[in-house]
Amino acid sequence: MNWENKIISEEQNQTARFAKAMSHPIRLYVLDLLAKQTCCYSGDLSEILPIAKSTLSQHLKELKNAGLIQGEIEPPKVKYCLNMENWKLAQKLFKNFLKL
Amino acid sequence: MNWENKIISEEQNQTARFAKAMSHPIRLYVLDLLAKQTCCYSGDLSEILPIAKSTLSQHLKELKNAGLIQGEIEPPKVKYCLNMENWKLAQKLFKNFLKL
DNA sequence: AATTTAGTTCGCAAATTTACGAACAATATT
DNA sequence: AATATTGTTCGTAAATTTGCGAACTAAATT
């Protein structure tokens, strides 16, 4: 998954990567929440969402790997926020893609 | 994948479904093309894209299942276009989600 | 030093995705 | 009727995703 065969542009590959990060309801929910309020703790999410905390942790890791969120350690908790730089990039890419 | 547990809204589920359809570079490329020009033939895509035509056919099927495109049979070819109703819905959902 | 708290990582199973070539279907042409 | 064209479906393999509980880590508290 990452055609550098010139047919699919790097912009399209990046858009697809972001879309993939958004393609699971749990992850979309987390992003949606972080876009509304500034930050949240992993524990807050764990209480609300009907999944094991190990599963949640994996989803958060994927969002981090996609560059859409970042976690700040506040022992013993972890505070998650959007990675604003990449969130703005995602806004730009989807705006272009969807012709908004 | 489809939490009707009231925590994740139907809107969020739908947004995630669209995101999933967009989450593969090949599918994103097809959508991008159809958003730029009105329609295209399966064969045109097959010539351009570096994948087997059976694989392309599967991707097109997924886009159809997600409701984002529709295929019109013009024997012996198939002409694909965006499903404008759902494309507009996707625009709306992503606009809301990304706060554009 | 033992315990508690908050999260992550590991190991595993089940399901889904991605990809291909071969076989098939439907229409158009010879 | 045989052939060619265009796509889809089938069968299969490999990789990835999703999810869980158990085990682990790190810091704070007792």
Amino acid at B16: A
> What is A10-86's CATH topology?
Arc Repressor Mutant, subunit A (1.10.10)
Is the domain spanning B10-95 CATH 3.90.870.10? The answer is: no
The reported pLDDT for the residue numbered B11 is 97
Residue B4 has pLDDT above 70, yes or no: no
- A50 by DSSP, 3-state: which? coil
Residue B36 pLDDT: 94
Q: Do B97 and A8 touch (CB under 8 A)?
A: no
Instruction: Please report the pLDDT score of residue B16 as a whole number.
Output: 98
CB pairs under 8 A between A and B: 103
A56 CA → C8 C1’, Å:
10
pLDDT at A2: 59
Q: What is the mean pLDDT of chain B?
A: 94
- Residues close to nucleic acid strand D (C-beta < 7 A): A 20, 23-24, 26, 51-52, 54-55, 58-59, 62, 75-76; B 1, 41-43, 46, 53-54, 56-58, 60-61, 71, 76-78
Q: Testing the interface with A: which of B9, B30, B94 to mutate, by most A Cβ within 10 A? A: B94
H or E segment and range at residue B71: strand B69-74
CA dihedral A11, B2, B56, B95 (to 10 degrees): -30
Burial A75-84 (b: 16+ CB within 10 A, else e): eeeeebebbe
Q: How far apart are CA A35 and CA B57, in angstroms?
A: 36
pLDDT less than 50: residues of chain A: 4
Would you say how long chain A is, in residues? 100
